[in-house]
A = this chain, B = another copy of it.
């Protein structure tokens, strides 16, 4: 016999058979019901109001919840409700799953909120003499999880906390398997995580509310490892000099991150013990140096990282100061120098789900290129050198206040734009690309990169100029990317015309001028609409990993499927690279 179930305010009507689970039926109807605890009757997030229909006796958890939330007696947990007749129900807004915004630059991506760390508010039953269960068993029984683990340090605190709070506590649980914290009374509202983009130059630390997925605050700072070398290669070289250097590099960045985390928490008056997880995304080298893992095998051919996917580590062991039993998740490295920043970006763009062929390009000291061809993924990396970040350029600088980030040539006049509108103190990557493109069009530079008319330099504005050597540095950087794109298309037999979109990630962001980039050949000649700047996709991906454990599962399986093309070992690499040195549009 089929029963009818009317659902408001969504105004749906569905049928159900006897003993079917109300939660299942609501989900089947297309409503995104919040099933935070996986239908185990533990979180209270799938409460619905039974407007008409059978009201079974309240279960213990329901009694506790209705009292806590001060709700009327006609609310029930839909994951515990077996259908026995016609029903009319109302689904409160709080029972609908929340979506967290992951990416909003270029394209939008939201994910259902399903963090690895979840908090549960519980009233445990104090054991009696006749049933002297261990305290640990009380939790195992409550969570219906016989393999639930509780770290030794927590076992040491547990008795006192339970006694003090009369067994009324909140537990933070990692992946439903490990309790990270037991806190007296109701601390559900205090559940935070931190996502970090570990750039070679810049660190971005973001504090997130794991209950809502909202960004509470963000802080940007310099990667303190810069003092050991501005680019990846020199930093790896430093790590290799002496055995202790790996740990020194690690200590340096961990100290900086801890200072940044502490500043964010202080500003928002949040205790570090309410932060249960950190997700960090960096390139392969940064990921290794963050953990103090030696890089001997990464720095020399065949360039083996020590790890790609790591299970969550202890935050304490990593040195990061959050909850003493908190976790750290490292965005998985893909292969060699295609690292966690790229895997984070793939997740932030949900590239796997898109139909067609796409290029994902991260423009930085190291250029990483991923081609999605149908369902296949092929990745490569190419050493562009630090020119794009303004390094090794006479008047180059990072994209900081005072940097020329944009230039236009209009009415015989070179107009420059400076970050924060200050007096120009140098040129950053996007500015360099504009100036070279303009000089090329004006004929001040030949397509081969030679400054014309026997001049020694190209003047930009007072005291700011480009030398012949600067142009050569840019030629090398651009050629690296150009060759990478050309060869990955060749290797996979994909024509430029078959590309449905190019995602550009990296610090360049929206300031990269597409037309100019195409003029000098940095980007291939393709419909401008198909080029999408997605900004800091590494940070967005770290956020995705923090807010959705599904995102972790997805990338861990995708990473294994990504094929790798090693450019340097291809016989045609040198030839292509030399060809590409010329400032001409890509074919």
A contact residues vs B (CB 8 Å cutoff): 126-137, 149-150, 152, 155-156, 158-160, 162-163, 246, 291-297, 301-308, 310-311, 313, 317-318, 333, 335-336, 564, 566, 568-569
Contacts and interface: CB of A to CB of B under 8 A. Distances in A.
A568 B128 CA distance: 13
Contacts of A160: 294, 296
A563 to B, nearest CB: 10
A243 to B, nearest CB: 9
Contacts of A133: 304, 335
Nearest to A250: B156
Contacts of A311: 149
B130 A293 contact: no
A564 B131 contact: yes
Contacts of A569: 129-130
A566 B134 contact: no
Contacts of A162: 297
Contacts of A302: 126-132
Contacts of A336: 132
B294 A156 contact: yes
Contacts of A156: 246, 291-294
Given A293-B155, A296-B160, A317-B152, A134 B306 contact: yes
A132 B163 contact: no
A151 B291 CA distance: 12
A130 B566 contact: yes
A296 B311 CA distance: 35
A392 B122 CA distance: 46
Given A159-B306, A302-B127, A306-B155, A335 B294 contact: no
A303 B333 contact: no
A437 to B, nearest CB: 35
Given A128-B302, A568-B129, A333 B134 contact: yes
A132 B306 contact: no
Given A152-B317, A291-B155, A566-B129, A134 B305 contact: yes
Number of chain copies forming the complex: 2
B135 A306 contact: yes
Contacts of A136: 306-308, 310
23 contacts: A126-B302, A127-B302, A128-B302, A129-B302, A129-B569, A130-B564, A131-B564, A132-B335, A132-B564, A134-B304, A134-B305, A135-B297, A135-B305, A149-B311, A150-B307, A152-B317, A156-B246, A156-B291, A159-B295, A159-B306, A160-B296, A162-B297, A163-B297
A292 B152 CA distance: 9
Contacts of A296: 159-160, 163
A109 B386 CA distance: 69
Contacts of A304: 127, 132-135
A308 to B, nearest CB: 4
Q: In the complex, which of the residues A291, A302, A318, A568 has the most CB atoms of chain B within 10 Å of its own CB atom?
A: A302
A160 B333 CA distance: 20
Contacts of A150: 307
Contacts of A301: 129
A182 to B, nearest CB: 12
A130 B304 CA distance: 11
Given A162-B297, A163-B297, A129 B292 contact: no
A158 B132 CA distance: 46
A404 B234 CA distance: 77
A141 to B, nearest CB: 11
Contacts of A158: 306
Report, nearest first, the 3 A-B pairs whose CB atoms are least far apart: A129-B302, A132-B336, A134-B308
A308 B137 contact: yes
Contacts of A333: 134
A230 to B, nearest CB: 25
A133 B307 CA distance: 9
A211 to B, nearest CB: 30
A110 B163 CA distance: 44
Q: In the complex, which of the residues A136, A296, A317, A566 has the most CB atoms of chain B within 10 Å of its own CB atom?
A: A136
A132 B318 CA distance: 26
Given A132-B303, A132-B335, A158-B306, 5 more contacts: A129-B566, A133-B304, A152-B313, A159-B294, A162-B297
Contacts of A310: 136
Contact of A305 (B128, B132, B297, B308): B132
B159 A297 contact: yes
Nearest to A568: B129
A534 B148 CA distance: 35
Nearest to A317: B152
A132 B291 CA distance: 20
A132 to B, nearest CB: 4
Given A129-B568, A301-B129, A313-B152, A135 B294 contact: no
Contact of A152 (B149, B246, B291): B291
A564 B137 CA distance: 15
A541 to B, nearest CB: 19
Contacts of A308: 134, 136-137
A561 to B, nearest CB: 13
A419 B185 CA distance: 58
Nearest to A129: B302
A335 B305 CA distance: 48
